[in-house]
Amino acid sequence: MGGGQEFEWKLGQMIMVGMLLMVGCFYAGTLYANNATIYASQLSSSSSPPSPGTSTFTNKIALTYRKTPPLIPETGINVCPLNLNEYIPCHDVAYVKTLLPSLDTNRREELERHCPPIEKRLFCLVPPPKDYKKPIRWPTSRDYVWRSNVNHTHLAEVKGGQNWVHPKDQFWWFPGGGTHFKHGAPEYIQRLGDMITNGTGDLRSAGVSQVLDVGCGVASFSAFLLALDIQTMSFAPKDGHENQIQFALERGIGAMISAIATKQMPYPSSSFEMVHCSRCRVDWHENDGILLKEVNRLLRSNGYFVYSAPPAYRKDKDYPIIWEKLMNLTSAMCWKLIARKVQTAIWIKQDDLSCLQHNSEQKLVDLCDAGDDSKSSWNTQLRNCIQVRGAQSDSPKLPSRPERLSVYSESLSGKGVTQEVFSLDTAFWQDQVQHYWRLLNVNKTEIRNVMDMNAFCGGFAVALNDSPTWVMNIVPASMSNTLSAIYNRGLIGAFHDWCEPFSTYPRTYDLLHANHLFSHYKNRGRQGCVMADILLEMDRMIRPQGFIIIRDAETITARIQDLAPKFLWEVESHTLENIEKKPETVLI
């Protein structure tokens, strides 16, 4: 959609837009000031007097479902009972159980997102667990997090021997191990670099800047790739390995809940130089290799698929036959096995058109109909075919980071974003982020996990690149796909539809940035994304005393300002200039 209307705010009408800076202050000041949280005292008696030094609030504790239209009590949004402190609406085991008969469990469909219908969604604030503490700051958090924040022992019990995570006093300690790197991720990363470069370099010199880690565990792989300035999108399902993603995010490592099963991943095509699976519990050889074809979609050309799992090295059980299937499938896709050593096999995805055409004639592989793979991959069924990227080859050789951050993708020009608009946007956010730091008035180390809920070209994330943060860039699926361009800048992110909750644990972000998000959803006419729904989801994702920045049209920010106290948020309103240099209210 050339110059689509969603960018109209960029192109300058006369709206006055505002910014709210808010502190998602769930019981601010009380949680840490005294050990007995106000929450606990509320539980025992909802009329107990507030403890000294706490702000009073009148919200009731009650399991409350979403009404249509949403009902906001005079006393504020109700608070969910304590046992719901890990509530993830679209990954709710009890709800998925009710769907099981209609799910394709052979393909693990049950691990994917399943959002309950609107009337089955909770409409209450998700409380923190007992003894919740403000997360330990990066980089210490890479190795230690508070036990009370992720109070699950299961992972340590089953994975302790593989050195994933150990209890240590009131902390969880992450020695940096993983199923295939008991001796630590750095050594493993070095080995992969040796394998790819034949001992002449490391992953970075092999051109790897962006990695997708499938079934990432506690994301130690990603944590240690950072030393090479390699950015990783890590994901894992919410399954028997309890709370892997919660651990990862608590550590300050970019990750989300997801599963590769029946639908395309919410990441754009040609976005990664490496897809990594270390005992990731995915049956790549099944269903005609349909999941490998999804990997093929996600890899940039000459990208690597790294596979560390028993079929790559064991000769017992059915491993040899699985290996043979993998070899057949990968050669049909014209991937080339470039190394197989210790416990790891590595393929390279060659964009070899004549090989693909040959294999297609031999009926070894199907090529997709010349379709458009630049659309947002959101709620899209997997396709059992290979997309051939023809002349439109949007894959010029990208520089490594940090140069990659300023790459302008040609694909943007078809979406009404000229090079000029892009540069303006980049400069604008550099400037705004300076203002944000001034207004937030916190030590930069206080903010690690950041989400830009409407990321456009990623300018906000680029401007944060020098601070100790990582940014999850979200491009709403109902907007044009600018996420490919964000990936081409060496950043990570995902498509999402804010009419549904996001696939993350509660309290996992320190800062949420919502730039003209509410105005986009204002007239969607769809259930589940009126202002109160989106605010509620933001409240779920933000950690206590985290920050929320909202910029939008005056009418919208004014309403949010009215609603915020019902969510127990403290609001400050500021005015900054928008890209047209018009004043814009900023809520913090």
Ligand X SMILES: *[C@@H]1O[C@H](CO)[C@@H](O)[C@H](O)[C@H]1NC(C)=O
**Binding residue for ligand X (CB under 6 A) from 166, 325, 340, 524?**
325
Which residues inside 45-74 make contact with ligand X, applying CB under 6 A?
none
Type of residue found at 307 = Y
CA-angle at 175, arms to 170 and 179, nearest 5°: 120
**Binding residue for ligand X (CB under 6 A) from 148, 287, 350, 374?**
148
Please name the residue ranges forming H helices in 252-308.
290-298
Q: Would you say 202 or 554 has its CB closer to ligand X?
A: 202
**Binding residue for ligand X (CB under 6 A) from 229, 283, 324, 562?**
324
CA distances from 191 to 184, 204, 272, 341, 467 (A): 11, 13, 20, 9, 30
Q: Can you state the percent helix, strand and coil of the chain, rounding each to 5?
A: 35, 20, 45
**Least separation in angstroms between CB 445 and ligand X:** 4
CB 88 within 8 A of CB 537: no
Q: Would you say 36 or 321 has its CB closer to ligand X?
A: 321
Given the structure tokens 């601070």, which residue do they identify?
467
> Coil, strand or helix: which one is 125?
strand
Spell out, one character per residue from 455 to 474, where the chain touches ligand X: x when CB under 6 A holds, - when not. Answer: --------------------
| E strands in 42-170 | 144-146, 166-168
Spell out, one character per residue from 192 to 221, where the chain touches ligand X: x when CB under 6 A holds, - when not. Answer: ------x-----------------------
The verdict on 375 binding ligand X (CB under 6 A) reads no
> Which run of H or E residues covers position 346?
strand 344-349
The Cα 49–Cα 31 span in angstroms is: 16
The verdict on 442 binding ligand X (CB under 6 A) reads no
Residue 203: CA atoms inside 13 Å, Cβ hemisphere, count?
32
Q: How many CB atoms lie within 10 A of CB 373?
A: 20
**Least separation in angstroms between CB 200 and ligand X:** 9
- Only one of the segments 145-153, 418-426, 463-471, 555-563 lies at the binding site for ligand X (rule: CB under 6 A); that segment is 145-153
Distance of CA 339 to the CA centre of its chain: 31
**Binding residue for ligand X (CB under 6 A) from 62, 93, 321, 342?**
321
Q: Would you say 283 or 324 has its CB closer to ligand X?
A: 324
**Least separation in angstroms between CB 447 and ligand X:** 11
Q: Would you say 393 or 445 has its CB closer to ligand X?
A: 445
Please give, one letter per residue, the 3-state secondary structure of 481-528: CCHHHHHHCCCCEEEECCCCCCCCCCCCEEEEEEECHHHHHHCCCCCC
Q: Are strands 272-278 and 299-308 parallel, antiparallel or unpaired?
A: parallel
Q: Would you say 304 or 460 has its CB closer to ligand X?
A: 304
The verdict on 445 binding ligand X (CB under 6 A) reads yes
Q: Would you say 318 or 403 has its CB closer to ligand X?
A: 318
**Binding residue for ligand X (CB under 6 A) from 151, 302, 395, 400?**
151
Q: Would you say 287 or 380 has its CB closer to ligand X?
A: 287
The residue count of the chain comes to 588
Q: Would you say 381 or 443 has its CB closer to ligand X?
A: 443
Spell out, one character per residue from 332 to 361, where the chain touches ligand X: x when CB under 6 A holds, - when not. Answer: ------x-----------------------
Q: Would you say 75 or 328 has its CB closer to ligand X?
A: 328
The verdict on 328 binding ligand X (CB under 6 A) reads yes
**Least separation in angstroms between CB 506 and ligand X:** 15
The Cα 579–Cα 13 span in angstroms is: 11
> Coil, strand or helix: which one is 99?
helix
Which residues inside 104-133 make contact with ligand X, applying CB under 6 A?
130-131
- Only one of the segments 286-294, 320-328, 402-410, 499-507 lies at the binding site for ligand X (rule: CB under 6 A); that segment is 320-328
Q: Would you say 346 or 512 has its CB closer to ligand X?
A: 346
**Least separation in angstroms between CB 352 and ligand X:** 16
Nearest to 507, CA basis, from 92, 126, 18, 148: 126
- Only one of the segments 7-15, 317-325, 396-404, 505-513 lies at the binding site for ligand X (rule: CB under 6 A); that segment is 317-325
CA distances from 480 to 9, 322, 424 (A): 14, 40, 19
Q: Would you say 490 or 546 has its CB closer to ligand X?
A: 546
The verdict on 413 binding ligand X (CB under 6 A) reads no
**Least separation in angstroms between CB 325 and ligand X:** 4
Q: Would you say 90 or 192 has its CB closer to ligand X?
A: 192
Type of residue found at 537 = E
**Least separation in angstroms between CB 368 and ligand X:** 22
Q: Would you say 84 or 103 has its CB closer to ligand X?
A: 84
**Least separation in angstroms between CB 515 and ligand X:** 27
Q: How many residues bind to ligand X according to rule CB under 6 A?
A: 13
Please give, one letter per residue, the 3-state secondary structure of 559-585: HHHHHHHHHCCEEEEEEEECCCCCEEE
Q: Would you say 5 or 445 has its CB closer to ligand X?
A: 445
The Cα 270–Cα 347 span in angstroms is: 16
CB 21 within 8 A of CB 587: yes
The Cα 76–Cα 123 span in angstroms is: 11
Q: Would you say 409 or 469 has its CB closer to ligand X?
A: 469
**DSSP 8-state secondary structure symbol assigned to residue 117:** P
Please name the residue ranges forming H helices in 352-502.
353-361, 419-440, 459-463, 483-488
CA distances from 13 to 17, 83, 224, 416, 578 (A): 11, 47, 45, 16, 11
**Least separation in angstroms between CB 199 and ligand X:** 8
Counting runs of H as helices and runs of E as strands, what totals does the chain give? Answer: 15, 18
- Only one of the segments 61-69, 71-79, 321-329, 472-480 lies at the binding site for ligand X (rule: CB under 6 A); that segment is 321-329
Structure tokens at 482: 């600018």
- Only one of the segments 143-151, 395-403, 473-481, 568-576 lies at the binding site for ligand X (rule: CB under 6 A); that segment is 143-151
Site for ligand X, rule CB under 6 A: 130-131, 147-148, 151, 198, 321, 324-325, 328, 338, 443, 445
